Structure 1
Amino acid sequence: MESGIAGVELLSVVAYDAYRRAADGQGACGISWTVLAGIGRVESRHGTYGGSRLQSDGTTSPRIIGIPLDGRPGIATITDTDGGAFDGDPVYDRAIGPMQFIPSTWRAFGRDGDGDGRADPHNLYDAAAAAAGYLCRSSGNLGDAGNLNAAILSYNRSQAYVDAVLGHRRDYDRLGL
C-alpha cells in the first residue's frame, strides 16, 4: 500500500505502535521509531513476509521463519543453538519472527514489549523492543550517524543492508509522524 509520498509503504497501526513503543522505551539511546521501522521493512515487511499477517496483538500468523543457516553459498553456517525450540530446526539455526532474530540472539536480548509477561520473537511488540535493546547496547547515542551505522551493521553485517534500512528510515521520517 502507498501513502501520499511516492514509494513509501504505509505501516499498519499495530506496526507503528510497536516501533514507537520500542523506541520510546530506550530513553537516552536516541533510537528513532523510523530506524526500527526500516529494519522491520527490510526483514519482514512489518510482519507480512511470505503471506504472514500481523494480528492486532502484534503476533505474526503464520510465523515467519527464515532459511536454514547451513553454509550454502552466500549463507552463514550457524549450527543449532536452541534444539529447534524457536525455529523448529534441530540441525541449523534460522532467523525467526518479524525482526528476524537468530535463536541465540533472541535468548540474550528477547524482551516483553507488549506487557503480556512473555518475550515472544513472533510478536512485533516484543521483537521491536528486543531490536531496540540490541541496537542501543553499546553503540552510543544513535542520533549520531556513525554510531547508528555501526549499530545497524551489528544487526546485519552488510553495508547494503544498512543502506536499505536507512533508505526506508528516510521514507518514514518524511511521513512526519
Structure 2
Amino acid sequence: MGHKTQTPFQPLQIAVLTVSDTRDESNDTSGAALVDGLHTVGHVLADKKIVIDDIYKIRAIVSQWIASEHIQAVMITGGTGFTARDSTPEALIPLFDKEVDGFGELFRQVSYQQIGTSTIQSRAIAGMANKTVIFAMPGSTNACKTAWNDVIKEQLDASHRPCNFVPQLKASTSEQCESRG
C-alpha cells in the first residue's frame, strides 16, 4: 500500500455523472454517495448531472467536462454492465487519450471480496482525456462506495505516494511520482 507525504492535500474540481434510465435527484443514491465521498475529503463538486443510458448523450456531457478549463476529474456511475442499454464504456473509450487499465482490474479484485465472481460482469473503466481523469463504475451504491474508498480516493490525493493522478491533471501544482527504490 502507498503512504502519505508532506505534500499538502489539493482540493480538486470533480464532476459526477449518473447514467440511468430510471434515476432522478430524489433517488440517485449512487451519485449522492460519490458526492458525499468527494466532499468528505475536501474536494469540490464542479457539476453533477443525470443522463439516460445513451452513448451520444453520455459522450456529449463528458466531452464538455473534458473541455472545461476547471474540471480535473469525472466520476461516472452506471451503464457499465452487460444489458442491452449499458453503454458507458462505449461512450467513453473514444474520448480517452490513454486508458487506465489498472482501475478496472483493481476494482474487480476488491469487489471480488464482496460479491464473488459476479464482479466479472463489471466493465468498470478509467482513462485520461485532456488532463482530466475519468472513472466509470457500476451503478450500485455499494459499488460506488467500494470504488471511491478502495481505489479512487487515494489516487485523487496529492499526498498519496508513490504515485497519484493529481500531477497529471489540469491546474495542478503537485510533483510527479517519486521513485520506488
The TM-score by the shorter chain falls in which range?
Answer: 0.3 to 0.5
User: Would you tell me which structure has more strand in proportion to its own residues?
Assistant: 2
